[in-house]
Amino acid sequence: MTDLSKITHIDVLQRIARRRVPRMFYDYADSGSWTEGTYRANESDFQKILLRQRVAVNMENRSTRSTMLGQPVAMPVALAPTGLTGMQHADGEILAARAAKAFGVPFTLSTMSICSIEDVAEATDRHPFWFQLYVMRDRGFIERLIDRAKAANVSALQLTVDLQILGQRHKDIVNGLSAPPKPTLANLMNLATKPRWCWNMLQTPRRTFRNIAGHVEGVTDLSKLSAWTAQQFDPQLNWGDVEWIKRRWGGKLVIKGIMDAEDARHAVDSGADALIVSNHGGRQLDGAPSSISQLPRIADAVGREIEVWMDGGVRSGQDVLKARALGARGVLIGRPFLYGLGAFGQAGVSRALEIIHRELDLTMAFCGRTDIETVDSGILLDGRRDWF
């Protein structure tokens, strides 16, 4: 049995996940659109930001505790909504939600999850979690989905606004991505090399999009579900729809997918409680800038009128600290927890959170700060200069 305490870097979890997860689902998580330039920039741009090391300061009694939407968190990190999480590991959304609950950080369930809203609520004893919503053409389905989220004790709704149409992701097309996998010769040969994944998947009935299956009239089998999903993302989404969802939901609303200061102002005007600076992990507009490069100007544009978060390229606790210094109240992580999940299930997600927390704590101390609430651009070499 692997001693997870000896795994000290997210990259190690990534290598193990690559061996254990079927190719189409690993590639789904670990890829971007077109040339993947934006996907790579999300990560590499963090490396351009240099930290200011301080010495001979009291480093005792450190705290990474903060709040996101007024909710206490063990560190300013939440698990991002990721589609098909339950295909990285059987019951993946349930396992990730349990790990997040135990660690003290928020978990976000995707509309395109394998485990349903109700599955996650039941498995976590109705512990509050967040739910990510895509706007579909079928507004009746959206209304029912919002009502189900309310009934499941969801405490905040994340509305994704950057997926009105789907970016071209070459690996998904080549792999013939589907949930569950289609029984082609190539897929069967690949699955034969993943016995652990197959065994775990045989133990669960959750193998398709359970937020949708059984909740849409006329969708009675997998082929009809796939066809319905493919034509449902609404290219006509506009800020009027955002305001309608805010009224219909009535609770905390987060706008995910902001990459422009003007759109950030629209998010404020819509009545949202937080926005997420995000390019969808580099999976939509290839050639767009990295999320971290746009964070400072967006944070400046909205000031304290709305909480500003970011995602995209966060792979370490140092990245969390840099984002905080450049104006983010919190960050969301997707791929790091998916690597942990694919490698070791719930224990792997917990280990990913432990790694990021330790890196955050130690780096904060080396920068001369003992409380995450005091972190600002002063921890960066030359402050908030133009790093990009």
Q: What is the CA radius of gyration of the chain?
A: 20
- Residue (of 366, 381, 359, 338) closest to 100 by Cα position: 338
pLDDT the model gives residue 220 = 64
Residue ranges making up the domain that contains 115: 4-45+67-363
Tell me whether residue 134 is annotated as binding: yes
pLDDT the model gives residue 212 = 93
- The answer as to whether 353 is a domain residue is yes
Tell me whether residue 335 is annotated as binding: yes
Q: At a CB cut-off of 8 Å and minimum separation 6, what does 299 contact?
A: 308, 326, 327, 328
- Residue (of 62, 61, 68, 158) closest to 105 by Cα position: 68
Query: Catalytic site residues?
Result: 280
50, 51, 53, 59 alpha-carbon torsion, rounded to 10°: -160
- The answer as to whether 373 is a domain residue is no
Tell me whether residue 11 is annotated as binding: no
Tell me whether residue 110 is annotated as binding: yes
Question: What does the block give as tokens for 74?
Answer: 């063990």
Question: What does the block give as tokens for 270?
Answer: 């819509």
3-state DSSP percent of the chain in helix, strand and coil, to 5: 45, 15, 40
Question: What does the block give as tokens for 42?
Answer: 């999300």
Tell me whether residue 132 is annotated as binding: yes
- The answer as to whether 376 is a domain residue is no
| 384 class by beta-carbon count within 10 Å (0-12 exposed, 13-18 middle, 19+ buried) | middle
- Residue (of 325, 280, 329, 302) closest to 69 by Cα position: 329
Please count the structural domains in the chain: 1
CATH number at residue 138: 3.20.20.70
Q: At a CB cut-off of 8 Å and minimum separation 6, what does 47 contact?
A: none
DSSP codes, 246-300: HHHH-SEEEEEEE-SHHHHHHHHHTT-SEEEE--GGGTS-TTPPPHHHHHHHHHH
> What's this model's pTM, rounded to 2 decimal places?
0.96
pLDDT the model gives residue 222 = 62
Instruction: Please list the pLDDT of the chain residue by residue as tens digits (388 residues).
Output: 789 999 999 999 999 999 999 999 999 999 999 999 999 999 999 999 999 999 999 999 999 999 999 999 999 999 999 999 999 999 999 999 999 999 999 999 999 999 999 999 999 999 999 999 999 999 999 999 999 999 999 999 999 999 988 888 998 888 888 888 888 899 999 999 999 999 999 999 999 999 998 898 877 666 677 778 878 888 999 999 999 999 999 999 999 999 999 999 999 999 999 999 999 999 999 999 999 999 999 999 999 999 999 999 999 999 999 999 999 999 999 999 999 999 999 999 999 999 999 999 999 999 999 999 999 999 999 876 777 8
What are the DSSP E strand ranges found in the chain? 66-68, 71-73, 77-79, 108-109, 129-133, 154-160, 252-258, 274-277, 307-311, 330-333
- The answer as to whether 377 is a domain residue is no
- The answer as to whether 374 is a domain residue is no
- The answer as to whether 318 is a domain residue is yes
- The answer as to whether 380 is a domain residue is no
How far apart CA 317 and CA 239 sit, in angstroms, is: 34
Tell me whether residue 195 is annotated as binding: no
Packed helices 10-20 and 335-344: angle between N→C axes, nearest 10 degrees? 50
pLDDT the model gives residue 180 = 82
Separation of first and last alpha carbons in the chain: 44
Question: What does the block give as tokens for 333?
Answer: 């992580």
For 146, which DSSP code? H
Tell me whether residue 83 is annotated as binding: yes
For 49, which DSSP code? P
- The answer as to whether 369 is a domain residue is no
Tell me whether residue 350 is annotated as binding: no
